[in-house]
Amino acid sequence: MAEYKIKANTQRIPLQDHIPLNTPLRVFLETSSICNFRCYFCPHGVSSVNNAMINMIMPFELAKKCIDDIKLFPQKIKLLTLSTVGEPLLNKKLPEIVAYAKQSNIADNIDLVTNASLMTHDTADQLIASGIDRIDISIYGLSKQQYEKNSSVKINFEEFVNNIRYLYQNKKQCTIVIKICDAALKEENDEQRFYTFFSDICDRISVESIVPIWYGLEYDFQRVDASQNIYGKQRITKNICPPSFFSLEIHANGKVSPCCQDWKHLLIIGDAKTESLHQIWTGDKNYHHRILQLKQGRSTIPACADCQYPETVVIDNIDPYREMILRRFEERKI
């Protein structure tokens, strides 16, 4: 029986005691920016902005180059995540990317987030054999009809559940995490049905709230709750975005952002095709992005001003330590 626990890691170091970091804690490698779902709360599902997205599969050679770059950091990173705004299983080279990263020993853990609609028995076998440490599966309905309503896709729900069961039964070292958005639990007894379907075929399970996390989207607040975070708690206003101080996002085209929410590529601080990730991490563009937040707040950065991710998803809060962190950054620059 699965443990009921939120998907986020709650065992976190106190960031204020460690930043500036000479090595990111987490690197996002966007193996695919394409998605086969059209969820109404995601840029992929909003027709007015979908055309602004850069939809592509990350080439294996670029992924390999990024993995090699991670070796250049002074320390091993904590987590390599092989997904962001797209569906990673669309990348046919995904198991090879996982295997190469594991063999390179660059991260304590390697994970990905998937809708699992493409999780065949063969795909599951390949991913497990590659050494993946964790697979997070997002559920968007409890029937074919609910999937069509929430994500505009038609799936064979029974086959979908059976494929996840196969993955769990053959998972070996891999942790399987399943979560559902509360917006999918609208019919009577849906929550109990969710646990009945999935609690015996995963290691961790939870229900998350649908909240506004993507900048540049106009949300229907009758369907999206802006008053709480994704874990159902009261949201806290944050003037500084913690992930930009401990993570890097490499988009499928090689462009690099300080944030995994930068779906429009408005915060580009480098290009992994022509620069090393270490150069980008320690470079002037990344430095100035963080200094601007520390001095003036993220509201002065157009994309960040409209982003609610730090308040709706991120657990860390470094606002109370702004002056101390700013002093450290300025001393290191000198």
Contact 28, 70 (CB under 8 A): no
Mean pLDDT by 10 residues, the chain (334 residues): 76 92 98 94 78 89 98 97 97 98 98 98 98 97 93 96 98 96 86 94 92 80 71 89 97 96 95 98 97 96 92 94 95 72
pLDDT, residue 220, reads: 64
pLDDT, residue 45, reads: 84
pLDDT, residue 110, reads: 98
pLDDT, residue 298, reads: 96
Question: For strand 134-139 and strand 107-114, is the pairing parallel, antiparallel, or unpaired?
Answer: parallel
Report the alpha-carbon angle 116-4-12, nearest 5.
90
Contact 68, 104 (CB under 8 A): yes
- The set of long-range contacts for 127-131, using a CB threshold of 8 Å and a minimum separation of 24, is 127/94, 127/95, 127/98, 127/167, 127/174, 128/167, 128/170, 128/171, 128/172, 128/173, 128/174, 129/95, 129/99, 130/95, 130/96, 130/98, 130/99, 130/102, 131/98, 131/99, 131/102, 131/173
Evaluate if pTM is beyond 0.75.
yes
Tell me the one-letter amino acid at 34: I
